[in-house]
Structure 1
């Protein structure tokens, strides 16, 4: 089968399109004929092995999986002997350890139904970012109707879902993005957009019940000034920082400080869950959430797709058509 491969950590120059053997499903695995694969910022981190902390889970000296990519949408080609929730021919979404390929293995617990109203390309950008946003809004931030919610990084992959999910929960949402993306963020359900190139967060004195920080490296003290006295701050992103832990130091600082303040300061690490993928499909089919797919690339353009996302040019999500 055709697949994008990499032998070592590095930039997109390490990627090549190769012919490799098709994977064989184990007892609890689902073999998916990939129709489209999502590309997000996490793809870049796993490709480069930066910050170095990611190598603790994904390979110290080289990537454990020679095929990059996590998100996928496709059709079930075969199932393991113990799989009971899907069958051959089902249209599914899921997270694989290597989705930039014609065939990919997905553990049964990480596969869910493809939303009926989406194309394969749209569905392929739902799993990782959609799961992260759903669990952020529902579980970590505990957003309720009437809450004043600030989403920093509102035009990105996770942010575009977080704005929609918070608005669907009945929150009054403010998004932080560049002025060029303000109309896009409003179309997702934000009542107001702060252009970070021209306005500082908190300049108008607004204090938010919930702040979801998905971008940048703003200091905790700055974020807390805009948080209600008993509000919740969730830090789940932050590019930059050093090569060892990146922006993770802010999450650690928030968790350490939280017991000593009335504000709730926390972080979030998403779980890849088939049940939550099914919930996302329900929300999409109900018209409450929709993937923001900016553009697609072909499989042999994987390097271009990753560079496009890493450079910050994407308005929402990007997919590879396999």
Structure 2
């Protein structure tokens, strides 16, 4: 099978398409023929060994000190079950599924094996692109807003980075939960963020978010440019600061009304998000779609920092 691989750390052009053996599913796994896979900021960080401040030594130990241990990147995927392991009863060949692969990665390939219990069945109303696109940003936004922020109807939310993969989902989920949303983005993306449900938009190219006079019940930083001190100044007395991206120092100091960390990968969350997409309550924003042969171009697009929503690959 073909897969996008990077044998060394570096810029997008280190990603090359190569032929590798097709895997076989183990007893509790399914083999998925990948139809769509997301290329995320996380993939770009791993490819370039470019991590948030303080994380580099630990990430290098986990993913490879001198060269990548995981040469095929890609976490979020959607596709069709090609084969099932001997212990799998919930799924069968031909089922449309989606899921995430965690630190193991491997979705930027034609086929990927994955534990059957970790994939969700994709509703007929949801396309492969939308299923693959909603997972990374959607699960992150859901985890921080619902689980860490304990967001309730009537509260006010500031989403810093409202036009990215996490931000576009966060704006819509916050509205779904009954909050009033302010989105921070560039002026070029203001109309999109408003269409997704933000009642107010702050153009970060003109206004310094740290100097806003308004105070919010929840502040979600999806970019990584808000320190704990700056973020807390934007909160109401009972507000919560949520750092979806942060330095090691901020992550260690995240306590009290500050939460940080990595969103868990849970099938129940996939199913919740897929239900919202199927009903039309959640729009998956897709920036560009690339063939697997153009995986390096997909990484280059992510590296610009200007993608809107999701970048996808079609293996």
TM-score when scaled to structure 1?
0.91
Which residue in the other structure is 1:79 paired with?
Answer: 84
1:126 to 2:139 alignment: no
1:305 to 2:298 alignment: yes
* Residue pair 1:154, 1:185 contacting (<8 A) in 2 also: yes
Which residue in the other structure is 1:157 paired with?
Answer: 165
* Residue pair 1:136, 1:268 contacting (<8 A) in 2 also: no
Aligned residues: 307
Which residue in the other structure is 1:23 paired with?
Answer: 23
Give the match's secondary structure for 1:35.
strand
- Relative distance call for 1:110 and 1:61 in structure 2 (3 A) is farther
Structure 1: gaps of 5 or more residues: 239-246, 259-263
Give the Cα–Cα distance (whole angstroms) in 2 for the partners of residues 304 and 216 of structure 1: 24
Give the Cα–Cα distance (whole angstroms) in 2 for the partners of residues 54 and 150 of structure 1: 30
- Relative distance call for 1:9 and 1:32 in structure 2 (3 A) is same
Give the Cα–Cα distance (whole angstroms) in 2 for the partners of residues 85 and 163 of structure 1: 34
* Residue pair 1:115, 1:123 contacting (<8 A) in 2 also: no
* Residue pair 1:28, 1:83 contacting (<8 A) in 2 also: yes
Which residue in the other structure is 1:282 paired with?
Answer: 275
- Give, in angstroms, the shift of residue 202 of structure 1: 5.9
> For residues 45-86 of structure 1, what are the alpha-carbon distances to aligned partners after superposition, in whole Å with 9 as ceiling and x for unaligned?
121222223233333343332211111110000112222332
Where do 1:193-204 residues align within 5 Å?
A: 193-201=201-209, 203=211
> For residues 182-235 of structure 1, what are the alpha-carbon distances to aligned partners after superposition, in whole Å with 9 as ceiling and x for unaligned?
111111111001111111236452110111111142232221111011111111
The range that moved more, 156-165 or 81-90, is 81-90
In structure 2, which of residues 271, 287, 310 is the aligned counterpart of residue 294 of structure 1? Answer: 287
Where do 1:1-322 residues align within 5 Å?
A: 1-51=1-51, 52=56, 53-96=58-101, 97-201=105-209, 203=211, 205-238=213-246, 247-255=247-255, 258=256, 264-322=257-315
TM-score when scaled to structure 2?
0.92
Structure 2: gaps of 5 or more residues: none
Give the Cα–Cα distance (whole angstroms) in 2 for the partners of residues 277 and 129 of structure 1: 11
| Two-structure CA RMSD over aligned residues (Å) | 1.6
Give the Cα–Cα distance (whole angstroms) in 1 for the partners of residues 201 and 174 of structure 2: 15
